[in-house]
Structure 1
């Protein structure tokens, strides 16, 4: 416990290093300017004033060194650059103390040749302050941070490489998404644009590097950042979905954030086993991920391979013109942990997905209401919602696809949502819905696909519904009798050895 408390205090004090470091910078530069003004007879300043400024510059440099050391214990910095920065800071403190003692009346008569030490110490301190500041910027923002925006013609004069064009780190459109390598061409460009700046060879926050595959697999100081096959349990996804104000949110507040499509792609890649050597076409593309993948081509989902087409072109809901989604409502959903994604590039129609928030409640579902015109796909499966959520769902007048699988909804929900004019797809797998409930769907004019496996619905109930709606596709799964017959068939089938004997 004592060690833990010490570690917490070290981290707390270390965070003040960026604040404290400005004290020696300001005081040393001020002392230098005052000395120059005094020596050139530009200003009149007392010796005691300069001595006072030097004293506090020495104090500031010393305290800053201590805080910097404590901050470095947290790791995540390039070792060689950190070592250089540390010693530069120490020598700044030493130079500041020497300059103060050479100037102070307390030591001026006790230190031989003190007058000869003063100006060199002050000069060295000022120069090292600027050098240490440069390296500090590189540690915090990446190597070359202070010089990377150097304009021409100075870059050429200094022998620097030409400046990268703006937007060079942004994700480029993919001509053929299906044949794209899923990691190299889809996932890695997202990581490079949003993550690698803080997790590379020169700056590895949290001891995490994302610029090489093997190091990405290894993870950081807290272990791997993704669990193959489990996107919602992976730190890479969890941190992106934290509130922006949370100190563990990634990327940090102030940095360019991942879009909902980018988060969805990363989560989908992990769910598919986080492969590094497969193409998009080799993985299972769900309805949720198809619009995000289609958007990578820079066009709508209807452009390109049919494998990425999310729904029929004839569906009238896709041609609806709706207002731009309310930004505050979208942000509220994101803060709650929901994914908010446009169904196509530059579309105001939205998909809402609760894949990463299994604890979603009826109260949180009410956050959907301000977007009742824009939401056409809604995935609330595997959450804690009940029939109370149906009050809000029934108000989403343009809803086309609705996932309620593995929730506590009953026939009461069906009675409320049956009047939705565009509802084509309804998933009620493993719910409490009964035959009476699905009979309510007779009046659902647009419904084309219904899934009721492992619910309270019987074959008789499905047959009655199909009689009223013959074009409706209903998935009910296999019942216990069919399972028993399948097992029995396996038991009576001849064994491979028996076949050989014959």
Structure 2
């Protein structure tokens, strides 16, 4: 079967079977490492007279070293078909791995009772073959780490004076990004987008390791794209691969960053989407672009230095025009806060002076409807509530309805339905609602139409249709809809919404 997989893998597009077995390479490769090192220790102990080990024991260990090294080579080849590795380093690693297998087989053969006596000068070949196998093992291991983690993975923290003595170049310092003191004057790509890419994407997309033949480490490489073409389409953020992959479920094989790696925050995804929507410029400043509702609070949180001015819109903080964020409420009873925390929720201050709180389930993914009954106990103080990716459903929204000062609500990746959204109608201060990855349909949008305070709603990967979106936009003309809208719909929505100040004139006509 392995032979068939290898033959099939020679095709331009490797089969799923090839990639499946290839992903076992990191697991299998540790077997020959362990076997060879154990064999080496036993051999040294035997020759020094410190261990009473039968030669047949070492021979047996060498046999399994050779077998596992051979399997590791096959699986390593299959893994390499997935691409994304620096070619020269990959080739060196491959031949060194093959060398480990070959010389281990030689060492086993000349030492075995079955073949040893049949090979001329076999005893003289044993030790050199064993030593060469161990040396190649170390070299292959180093390059394997380089392919996975970067060329300086093993040496990046070498201290002085050993660094100088070994001829290792000075340590690479972290890229120094310009601090943002005035968001309005920040260069969007250089000071906002590139730092996100460096912290979340460059680990797998760099000069040494370029998954999908894609690199994010420089602007030039980002513009070039990868083996599947461009990663962004200027003016079309939600249609760009670098955004679409971030929005896939984390369990999806195409989700980026991969599961287990540090993920982009919602704000970071919003910033990248906004940058692409605005033309993906590499030299424009924030002041040169149009700031929408989705990125206003995110941009404002990046630095001070005055409001963001564009088209008469000023942003000095997270939705500063919101009446509820300027309203002081009584301080919550600490015993009640502790009771909320016992469910695993984080309780953080939004404004200490005004006693407003943010409650987040970022560390409580199992938070459920039964636990949601604690939320109304600090109903006056909760203005931001994050229940994304938890076990909550419509029953929790009945409790959320009691949070009369709620301004921001995250429900993405939960089991809420259209029926549950009926509970939100009485939230007079609700401005932000995230429904990404839920089963919401047009019927749910009809429920939202009655929330006049609503300013931003996220609808990525929901079941809404263009008809439902058009209806919602007509009911709430100033609503910012993020996701769930095609380019055609955006145009139709724009036509359906009269320019500011023109509505009354059109009615008179």
2:359 corresponds to which residue? Answer: 325
How do residues 1-80 of structure 1 correspond to structure 2 at under 5 angstroms? 7-80=15-88
Is the contact made by 1:325 and 1:371 (CA closer than 8 Å) also made in structure 2?
Answer: no
**TM-superposed deviation, 1:372:** 5.0
Deviations 1:42-84 (A, max 9, x none): 1111111011000010111111111111111111100110111
Instruction: Name the structure 2 match of 1:225.
Output: 231
Say whether the 8 Å CA contact 2:237–2:274 is kept in structure 1. yes
Query: Does structure 1 conserve the Cα–Cα contact (< 8 Å) formed by 2:177 and 2:191?
Result: no
1:454 to 1:273, Cα distance in 2 relative to 1, 3 A: closer
Taking structure 1 as reference, are residues 476 and 120 closer, same or farther at Cα in structure 2, changes over 3 Å only? same
The CA distance in 2 between the partners of 1:40 and 1:429, in whole Å, is 81
Deviation, 1:324, is: 3.5
2:187 to 181, 197, 203: 181
Task: Tell me by how many angstroms 1:314 deviates.
Answer: 7.7
Shift of 1:188: 1.3
> Is residue 326–residue 371 contact of structure 1 (8 Å, CA) maintained in 2?
no
- Tell me which moved more, 315-324 or 51-60: 315-324
Shift in Å, 1:138: 0.5
Give the one of 315, 327, 340 matched to 1:308.
315
Residue 248 (structure 2) pairs with residue 242 (structure 1): yes
Change (3 A) 1:78 1:318: farther
Unaligned 5+ segments in structure 1 are: 334-346, 355-361, 439-452, 460-472, 483-502
> Match of 1:324, SS?
strand
Seen in structure 2, the aligned counterparts of structure 1 residues 258 and 79 have a Cα distance that, compared at 3 Å, is same
Listed as ranges, the matches of 1:189-208 within 5 Å are 189-208=195-214
Greater displacement, 6-15 / 81-90: 6-15
User: Where does residue 489 of structure 1 map in the other structure?
Assistant: none
The alignment status of 1:123 with 2:131, answered yes or no, reads: yes
CA–CA distance in structure 2, aligned partners of residues 257 and 217 of structure 1: 22
Contact 2:28/2:68, CA 8 A, preserved across alignment:
yes
Alignment of 1:216-365 (within 5 A): 216-297=222-303, 299=304, 303-305=306-308, 307-309=314-316, 311-312=319-320, 315-319=323-327, 320-328=354-362, 350=384
2:267 partner SS: helix
Other structure's SS at 2:117 match: coil
Q: 2:471 — aligned with what?
A: 431
Give the match for residue 469 of structure 1: none
1:500 is aligned to none
**1:470-498, CA deviations, whole angstroms, 9 ceiling, x for partnerless residues?**
xxx9874775996xxxxxxxxxxxxxxxx
CA distance 1:350–1:232, change in 2 (3 Å): farther
Could you report, residue by residue, the CA deviation over 1:353-403 in whole angstroms, capped at 9, with x for unpaired residues? x9xxxxxxx9699599499578525799xxxx9974542323546424679
Distance 1:413 1:66, change over 3 A: closer
Residues 277-296 of structure 1, C-alpha deviation per residue, up to 9 Å, x if partnerless? 32211111012211111222
Instruction: Describe the shift of the 1:156–1:477 C-alpha distance in structure 2 as closer, same or farther (beyond 3 A).
Output: farther
Change (3 A) 1:136 1:84: same
Match of 1:446 in 2: none
Q: 1:454 and 1:254, CA in 2 relative to 1: closer, same or farther beyond 3 A?
A: closer
Contact 2:287 2:308 survives alignment (8 Å): no
CA RMSD for the aligned pairs?
A: 4.4
* Rounded Cα–Cα distance in structure 1 between residues aligned with 2:474 and 2:244: 36
User: Is the contact between residue 14 and residue 82 of structure 2 (CA under 8 Å) also seen in structure 1?
Assistant: no
TM-aligned CA distance change 1:218 to 1:369, over 3 Å: farther
Provide the C-alpha distance between the structure 2 equivalents of 1:479 and 1:454, rounded to a whole number of angstroms: 17
Specify the alignment match of 2:334 in structure 1. Answer: none
Q: 1:33 is paired with a residue of what secondary structure?
A: helix
1:106 corresponding residue in structure 2: 114
- TM-score, structure 2 as length reference: 0.70
Q: What is the distance in 2 between the residues matched to 1:163 and 1:454?
A: 53
Aligned-residue offset at 1:27: 0.8
Q: Secondary structure at the match of 1:277?
A: coil
Q: Deviations over 1:18-40 (max 9, x none)?
A: 11111111111111111000000
Q: Distance in 1 between matches of 2:228 and 2:113?
A: 53
Q: Is the 8 A contact 2:357 2:384 kept in 1?
A: no
Q: 1:118, CA displacement in angstroms?
A: 0.6
Structure 1 residue 259: deviation in Å? 2.1
The more displaced of 181-190 and 249-258 is: 249-258
Q: What TM-score, normalized to structure 1?
A: 0.70
> Distance between the aligned counterparts of 2:216 and 2:456, measured in 1?
40
Aligned pair count reads 417
2:423 equivalent in structure 1: 392
Gaps of 5+ in 2: 1-7, 328-353, 368-380, 436-440, 458-467, 478-491
Shift in CA distance, 397/144, structure 1 to aligned 2, threshold 3 Å: same
User: Partners of 2:421 and 2:29 in 1: how far apart?
Assistant: 56
Indicate whether 1:212 and 2:218 are aligned.
yes
Matches of 2:418 and 2:34, distance apart in 1: 63
